[in-house]
Amino acid sequence: IELKTMAAENKADEAATSPTTKKQKTMVEQAPDSEWPAAWLMPDGDCENQKAKNMREPNVPVTVAELKDIGICYWKLDASAYEYPVISVPWDPKDAVDPKLSQIRDDRGYSYADIITVHPDKLPSYEDKVKAFFEEHIHDAEEIRYILGGSGFFDVRNKKDEWVRIHIKAGDLMTLPEGIYHRFTVDEDDCIHAMRLFVGQPVWTPFNRPCEEHGSRKKYVQEFLEEEKKTEG
C-alpha cells in the first residue's frame, strides 16, 4: 500500500512539472481594440500625395476586427520610457530593457533587430527611398515594426483588394503577415524612428506586385482569403 501511495505521489509531482505545464507561460496579449491605431479606406485610383491622410469622403473607418481578419497583430508599448539609438544596424534584441518588448521578443522568437530613422537628415537619398517604400509588394516572412518615434502609414490590401491606411505612431508594435500586399510611407511630418525585428537572419527583399504565383502569396491567400471566397460562394 505504501509503495502504491508513493508511486501516486511521484506521478502527481511529475504532472506538476510536465512539459505541458511548463508551456502554460503567460503570453503578452494584443492591445485592446480601443488602443489600436486609426485605420480607414483610401480612395480608389492613384495616390497623388502619399504622405497625406488620403481618406474617402465621407471617411470610411476600418475596424480592429477587419484588421485582425487579414492577419494584422498589434501591441501598444511605452516607447518614451526607454532610450534607443537613432540608428543601429544591427541592434541586438537581447539588449531590450522594456520587459514587455522582451516578452514579445521571446514569445515570437525574434532574434534579430535593427533601428532606423527615416528622415531627410538621417537617410541618404531620402525622397527616392520613401518612393521605393511605397511600391506595392509582399515579403516572404512576417514584417514586424516597432515605432519608437515619429509617425507614418502602413497601407494593406483588404479582402476586397481595397487599400486600408493604418496610421502608426510612437509605441505601436505591429506585424504584417507573410504574403500580404502592402506599402509604407512617412506622413507629412517626414520622420519615423522604428525598430525592425526578424526571426533568424533578416531578409528584406520586396517582391513587387503582381506575384500571385509566389509561395508566400499563395500561403497568405490560402490562410486569409480562400475562406472568404468559400463564404461568398
Residue 2 pLDDT > 80, yes or no? no
Output the pLDDT for position 82.
Answer: 96
Output the pLDDT for position 25.
Answer: 53
Taking residues 208-226, report their average pLDDT. 96
Between CA 74 and CA 132 the distance in angstroms is 25
23-38 tens-digit pLDDT: 445 699 999 999 999 9
Q: Chain-wide mean pLDDT for the chain?
A: 90
Output the pLDDT for position 104.
Answer: 96
Output the pLDDT for position 219.
Answer: 97
Residue 12 pLDDT > 60, yes or no? no
109-136 tens-digit pLDDT: 999 999 999 999 999 999 999 999 999 9
DSSP string, the chain: -HHHHHHHHHHHHHHHTSHHHHT-PPPPPPPPGGGSPPEEEPPSS--S-TTS----SS--B--HHHHHHTT-EEEE--GGGS---S-BSS--GGG---HHHHHHHHHHT--EEEEEEESTTTSTTHHHHHHHHTS-EE-SS-EEEEEEEEEEEEEEE-TTS-EEEEEEETTEEEEE-TT--EEEEE-TT--EEEEEEESSS-----EESP-TTSHHHHHHIIIIIHHHHHHH-
**In this structure, what C-alpha cell is assigned to residue 86?**
537613432
Output the pLDDT for position 230.
Answer: 55
Output the pLDDT for position 201.
Answer: 87
Output the pLDDT for position 109.
Answer: 95
Taking residues 130-144, report their average pLDDT. 96
Using an 8 Å Cβ cutoff, are 97 and 188 in contact? Answer: no
Output the pLDDT for position 38.
Answer: 98
Q: What confidence category does residue 14 fall into, taking pLDDT thresholds of 50, 70 and 90?
A: very low
Q: Closest Cα partner for 142 from 192, 39, 68, 216?
A: 216
What pTM was estimated for this model as a whole?
0.87
**In this structure, what C-alpha cell is assigned to residue 128?**
527616392
Between CA 162 and CA 221 the distance in angstroms is 15
Output the pLDDT for position 226.
Answer: 87
Between CA 230 and CA 36 the distance in angstroms is 29
